[in-house]
Amino acid sequence: ADHEPVRTTCPYCGTGCGVLGGPAPMTPGDPEHPTNFGRVCAKGSALGETLGLENRLLHPMVGGRRASWDEALDLTARRFAEAVEKHGPDSVAFYVSGQLLTEDYYVANKLMKGFIGSGNIDTNSRLCMASSVAGHRRAFGEDLVPCSYEDLDEADLVVLVGSNAAWCHPILFRRLTDARARRGTKIVAIDPRRTATAADADLFLPVQPGTDVLLFNGLLAHLARVGRIDRDFVSEHTNGFEDALAKAQSDAPEFYAIAEECGVPFDDLVAFYDLFAATERTVTVYSQGVNQSSRGTDKVNAIINCHLATGRIGHAGMGPFSFTGQPNAMGGREVGGLANQLAAHMTLENPADLDRVQRFWKTQKLATASGLKAVDMFDALADGRIKALWVMGTNPAASMPNGNQVRKALANCDFLVVSDCVPGTDTARHADVLFPAAGWGEKDGTVTNSERRISRQRAFMPLPGETRPDWRIVCDVAQRMGFGEAFGFRNAASIFREHAALSAFENHGERVFDIGGLADLTDHEFEALKPVQWPVPAGQRAGTARLFCDRRFPTPDGRARFIAVGQQAPANATGQGHPVVLNTGRLRDQWHTMTRTGEVARLMAQAPEPVLELNPADAISLGIADGGFAEVSSAWGRAVARVRVTTDQTKGQAFLPMHWTDDVTAHGSPGRVANPACDAVSGQPELKHTPARLAPF
């Protein structure tokens, strides 16, 4: 029994595979987890090799020297309280992470919005899926993912838009190719690059960056033309169809014009439209290629419009399906980790929600307005409006666009606190206080994956050194700021119960996010909790696989909303000085800034260094050799990387992986180059489209 493996969840992508933790070497997936049934990808299989303590931060640091917990906590509480006292609550901010567990997220949000009284808590999920959140809220009235992974197994057509699932959600892609082998599922990939996913698709549309709305408006117009609109569903359960269709029709008059502007062969465009029109069981997956755009929210709604028009939602094997990037981006969305959400899918704009949360938290200081979204938050740090910032479990110096300004702002910040597992990140090196956080395998709580499935992350190793779980560090600071009563949590289970109770508090079905059925879990039941998909309303313990089966949406009149969206070019156009589109993204075997995956030699073998990918025609005209080095520069900064010349890249576009920071190679960080233009609705930055110039280096 001593060697019984512990059932936990992989800390990498939003697929959320169950894995077995235990004595190293530990590799296998959890055969009982309904997401992956025992399978894991290369990253998951190497988890056992990432548990060493060589690189770990094991004790608090203040001003670059080792300090006691009391000193670090006292100083943090005092400096935050002083800033609030002198400059008001909006002079402080938290920047948190989709790597945090739901319980960590919950207390951080409760402290900032509930007791400090500012909306200034945002998360690196803003960089990942904020446009999907905004699109869901516009269409459904709430941030809801209708589908379940089972729908991938049961679809006849799966359209992947801006999703390199073969690399970024490998186990989901394997589920999809299994379904193809079993039932002949057709896979369509829509992406500016010929990715591994595109190469394995039955049909690949190499769209020009930023033309997705036009492509899907053309599809909506086509569906109307060929009589594929579900008139009953549209008239009984939706609003706004005629406006959305009129906009789509005026946007996308003829196939040939759409094909030309989208950069897609005419025959392939027609084949896609016909396939979509003819296939009832269609799932459309969208990911960062859609979200990381100055028009990301419109793209999401252009996709959802096509599903609403055909009534393909709330049935097996169909629906619009956002794949989240991070392991717990969804959990963060649930607790209100985004600056424009309150908690439990309630909003800061709704007085009834504010009143409800204020009474539930028993606070007089609740924030009453949205806080600063990520890019705005770092702008406010740069110009001195933010006096104290606490970064938890993320490295914005490397990952934010306009990275040079972000680095300068972090360096000049009056008071910077960083909680992390490792001491040397580009952000941590500017910290006044560094808190040693517990890592994967050491901490307990829950995460939610892309299909709304809440799974336990369980500790299977002792806390090393003086590390503490993130939730506890936040509570320790909250207590020192005088909010002890509201933060007297004993363990992750007690936080989860409060979070679940808040989701059900005065919720008579208005909000779909309701896990009231889990609010009375005992510690023992929490320990044993099996993966479950929300909602789980009071009186239930079983979850809900699929939403909207009853054709009701959480809008005031119960109807879903079409959004009339028009094609618009990306915010910053390419031009004379910067003629190339720089795109950024993930590689198969790395995770974020490589603090964990970078430790594993066999994962590093896939790509030992950052490589800029470039079309042969561009390489020739720029005089850049395959295997040589190139400098990529934009109006915001520059990076240098080795070059791979490949026809997978379209002419006029270049791709740089997001993982390398300046710690690993001298100038490999794409954040320094990326433009900070954001989607006006979601605040998500346009990391997929930066006008750039290339030159041999």
Rule CB under 6 A: choose which of 98, 170, 396, 445 binds ligand SF4.
Answer: 170
Whole-angstrom distance, CA of residue 230 vs CA of residue 232: 6
Phi/psi for 560 (5° steps) reads -75, 160
Nearer to ligand SF4, 171 or 418 (CB): 171
Nearer to ligand SF4, 36 or 533 (CB): 36
Q: How far is the CB of 587 from ligand SF4 (least distance, A)?
A: 12
Q: How far is the CB of 290 from ligand SF4 (least distance, A)?
A: 19
Q: How far is the CB of 649 from ligand SF4 (least distance, A)?
A: 25
Nearer to ligand SF4, 60 or 170 (CB): 170
Which of 96, 94, 68 lies closest to 80, judged by CA? 94
Q: How far is the CB of 13 from ligand SF4 (least distance, A)?
A: 3
Nearer to ligand SF4, 123 or 457 (CB): 457
Q: How far is the CB of 49 from ligand SF4 (least distance, A)?
A: 14
Whole-angstrom distance, CA of residue 271 vs CA of residue 254: 15
Nearer to ligand SF4, 158 or 303 (CB): 158
Cβ burial of 627 (10 Å; 0-12, 13-18, 19+) is exposed
Whole-angstrom distance, CA of residue 318 vs CA of residue 523: 37
Nearer to ligand SF4, 588 or 638 (CB): 588
Residue 145 tokens read as 């993912």
Stretch that binds ligand SF4, among 10-18, 81-89, 297-305, 359-367 (CB under 6 A): 10-18
Whole-angstrom distance, CA of residue 264 vs CA of residue 188: 13
Q: How far is the CB of 331 from ligand SF4 (least distance, A)?
A: 14
User: What contacts 360, CB < 8 A, 6 or more positions away?
Assistant: 501, 502, 505
Rule CB under 6 A: choose which of 130, 139, 152, 171 binds ligand SF4.
Answer: 171
Q: How far is the CB of 11 from ligand SF4 (least distance, A)?
A: 8
Which of 87, 88, 95 lies closest to 120, judged by CA? 95
Q: How far is the CB of 43 from ligand SF4 (least distance, A)?
A: 4
Phi/psi for 200 (5° steps) reads -100, 5
Q: How many residues bind ligand SF4 (CB under 6 A)?
A: 14
Residue 43 lies near ligand SF4 (rule: CB under 6 A): yes
Whole-angstrom distance, CA of residue 389 vs CA of residue 120: 10
Q: How far is the CB of 166 from ligand SF4 (least distance, A)?
A: 11
Whole-angstrom distance, CA of residue 648 vs CA of residue 668: 21
Span 346-365, contacts to ligand SF4 by CB under 6 A: none
Amino acid identity at 22: G
Query: Interior CA angle at 339 toward 334 and 345, to 5°?
Result: 30
Nearer to ligand SF4, 43 or 453 (CB): 43
Residue 165 lies near ligand SF4 (rule: CB under 6 A): no
Cβ–Cβ contacts within 10 Å for residue 644, how many?
A: 16
Q: How far is the CB of 642 from ligand SF4 (least distance, A)?
A: 26
Cβ burial of 93 (10 Å; 0-12, 13-18, 19+) is buried
Residue 44 lies near ligand SF4 (rule: CB under 6 A): yes
Mask for 13-42, x = binds ligand SF4 (CB under 6 A): x-xxx------------------x---xx-
Rule CB under 6 A: choose which of 8, 10, 500, 690 binds ligand SF4.
Answer: 10
Residue 190 tokens read as 């829509």
Stated as kind and residue range, the H or E segment containing 357 is helix 351-361
Q: How far is the CB of 136 from ligand SF4 (least distance, A)?
A: 22
Nearer to ligand SF4, 169 or 281 (CB): 169
Nearer to ligand SF4, 33 or 578 (CB): 33
Whole-angstrom distance, CA of residue 679 vs CA of residue 126: 11
Nearer to ligand SF4, 43 or 546 (CB): 43
Stated as kind and residue range, the H or E segment containing 246 is helix 241-251
User: What contacts 207, CB < 8 A, 6 or more positions away?
Assistant: 190, 191, 192, 215, 262, 263, 264
What is the 8-class DSSP label of residue 347?
B
Q: How far is the CB of 447 from ligand SF4 (least distance, A)?
A: 10
Query: Is-contact 652 618, C-beta < 8 A?
Result: yes
Which of 429, 400, 322, 526 lies closest to 333, judged by CA? 322
Nearer to ligand SF4, 165 or 380 (CB): 165
Cβ burial of 482 (10 Å; 0-12, 13-18, 19+) is exposed
Nearer to ligand SF4, 32 or 236 (CB): 32
Q: How far is the CB of 167 from ligand SF4 (least distance, A)?
A: 10
Residue 85 tokens read as 């006292």
Query: DSSP string of 583-594?
Result: EEE--TT--TT-
Nearer to ligand SF4, 402 or 457 (CB): 457
User: What contacts 167, CB < 8 A, 6 or more positions away?
Assistant: 195, 196, 197, 586, 587, 588
Residue closest to ligand SF4, measured at CB: 44
Residue 530 tokens read as 């099996």
Amino acid identity at 527: E
Q: How far is the CB of 16 from ligand SF4 (least distance, A)?
A: 6
Span 201-230, contacts to ligand SF4 by CB under 6 A: none
Stretch that binds ligand SF4, among 11-19, 280-288, 290-298, 649-657 (CB under 6 A): 11-19
Stated as kind and residue range, the H or E segment containing 261 is helix 255-262
Nearer to ligand SF4, 237 or 586 (CB): 586
Stated as kind and residue range, the H or E segment containing 617 is helix 616-622
Query: Is-contact 677 570, C-beta < 8 A?
Result: yes
Q: How far is the CB of 652 from ligand SF4 (least distance, A)?
A: 32
Q: How far is the CB of 22 from ligand SF4 (least distance, A)?
A: 16
Nearer to ligand SF4, 106 or 149 (CB): 149
Nearer to ligand SF4, 574 or 590 (CB): 590
Q: Kindly list the residues in this chain that would bind ligand SF4 in the complex (CB under 6 A).
A: 10, 12-13, 15-17, 36, 40-41, 43-44, 169-171
